[in-house]
Structure 1
Amino acid sequence: MPTHATLPRWDLLRAARVVPVLRYHDSATALYAAQVALRAGCRAIELTWTIPNVLDVLQATRADSRLSGRDDVLIGVGTVLDADQARLALEAGADFLVAPGVVPDVAELAAAAGAISMLGAFTATEVIAARAAGADVVKIFPASSGGPGHLSALKAVFGDTFFCPTGGVSRENMAQYFAAGADIVGIGSNLYDKDALAQQDTDALVAQVRQVLAEAGVK
């Protein structure tokens, strides 16, 4: 169980299984990708701080989710590097914050706001530091550097830690990460077919994401 996160949000995150990690160079593409994720049935969406006007994208995604009757969707901000970014994201309504490393301020501010925190780690020492900082979730990043075997070794030591491998996770290998001990996975650019995204082929993209969710066991 998490240290700080409110129970309803925590239950939603556990059920999400797959978190699209949306990182784009323009806000219009990011918003479109988020809309696809909503339509496909994703229960959590991460918008990275590197998206231009990311907080506007967050609020637009929230409005879209409510219009479509998806009030149960968690929308968070990733690549949060300091307290100032964390505060702004929470003020904009982020349900969760994600840092690529151990940033104690992120966990502290999320806890105070009743939001979920994910702190990045790769080594056992970093996992210990993330837990000590109050992280609700430890994000193994970059997951591809160690692969499922690395996650399995960490899970054997930190069995009560909620892990989310991110970075190099795809439809083809996510089952291996789940078998290794992942509770949820973050999938970035591998989630959407690049040609379909460029053409804004919504039906094809939605079908693709729904297949990923089905294979991840989302009901």
Structure 2
Amino acid sequence: MTEPLPTGPAGSTTEVVDRVRETGAVAILRLREHGSDVAVGQALLRGGLVVMEVTLDHPDGVDSLRRLAAELPEPALVGAGTVTTVAQVTAAAEAGARFCVSPHTDPVVIAAALDAGLEPLPGAATPTEVAAARAAGARLIKLFPAGPLGLGYLRALRGPFHDVTFVPTGGIRHDEVDGWLRGGAVAVGLGSDLVPPRPGAADLSGIEERARTVARLVRVARTPED
């Protein structure tokens, strides 16, 4: 019998896990120009994507996260990405993040996120890393880098880890979402193919249209076949 996954402290939450599952995609804002961040978030919402990750690998990342968390209406769910230190977990929590995504599995960072009331989403690429992430308390696991590893790798990994909630990320196009969901992912992380690193006003309609494509493909993937 599989042991139940840890629930984490109050506020860490089932709501985050459920929202990620329902949406089927995490929009990653790895921005190098943050002036249009709220407008980008609004375009994603209009397109049907409500879960957004602002990466902290840029000096303006925390301020951008704070603006999105404060200004986007429900049902937007905003988290921090590229979180590699406890200090970044603290900064993310203070900025209003609801979850923390990491490129790796670090039990110290996972514990800090849970202690801060945030849902951790550590990166893992091997069975050992997947097992370590779960043991540390992660309920969502980012398969990274998913694109180079391939859909066949996800399917093989789900053999021994059939009950793990994988969110493949890295090198996945927005128009490939349905294949990954059918392959066993609960959601897919989408980066620069969805949101360019330096978005401006001229990019907003394209971002919204790509978001609509993703939302449609999620529905298609989850429609039972005859």
Same fold (TM over 0.5): yes
> 2:219 matched to 1:217?
yes
Contact 2:31 2:196 in 1 (8 A): no
What's the CA shift for 1:186? 0.1
Hey, what does 2:31 align to over in structure 1?
24
Contact 2:144 2:168 in 1 (8 A): yes
Hey, what does 1:13 align to over in structure 2?
20
Contact 1:2 1:10 in 2 (8 A): no
Match for 1:154: what amino acid? L
SS of 2:163 mapped into structure 1: coil
Q: C-alpha distance in 2, partners of 1:201/1:118?
A: 28
Query: Going by fraction, where is helix more abundant, 1 or 2?
Result: 1
Please report the TM-score for the alignment, with normalisation by the length of structure 1.
0.88
Contact 1:155 1:180 in 2 (8 A): no
> 2:64 matched to 1:57?
yes
Please report the TM-score for the alignment, with normalisation by the length of structure 2.
0.86
SS of 1:52 mapped into structure 2: coil
SS of 1:217 mapped into structure 2: helix
What's the CA shift for 1:199? 5.3
- Alignment deviations for residues 143-177 of structure 1 (CA, whole Å, 9 cap, x no partner): 01210000111111101111000001113322221
Hey, what does 1:182 align to over in structure 2?
185
Gaps of 5+ in 1: none
SS of 1:157 mapped into structure 2: coil
Hey, what does 1:172 align to over in structure 2?
175
Hey, what does 1:121 align to over in structure 2?
124
Q: In structure 1, which of residues 148, 171, 185 is the aligned counterpart of residue 151 of structure 2?
A: 148
Question: Measured at CA, do residues 160 and 130 of structure 1 come closer, stay the same or move farther in structure 2, by a change above 3 Å?
Answer: same
> 2:134 matched to 1:131?
yes
What's the CA shift for 1:77? 0.4
Question: Measured at CA, do residues 126 and 40 of structure 1 come closer, stay the same or move farther in structure 2, by a change above 3 Å?
Answer: same
Question: Measured at CA, do residues 106 and 198 of structure 1 come closer, stay the same or move farther in structure 2, by a change above 3 Å?
Answer: same
SS of 2:88 mapped into structure 1: helix
Question: Measured at CA, do residues 49 and 161 of structure 1 come closer, stay the same or move farther in structure 2, by a change above 3 Å?
Answer: same
Match for 2:20: what amino acid? L
Hey, what does 1:112 align to over in structure 2?
115
Contact 1:21 1:47 in 2 (8 A): yes
| Relative contact order, higher structure (CA 8 A, sep 6+) | 2
What's the CA shift for 1:20? 0.7
Q: C-alpha distance in 2, partners of 1:74/1:2?
A: 22
Q: C-alpha distance in 1, partners of 2:54/2:29?
A: 5
Percent of paired sites with the same residue: 35
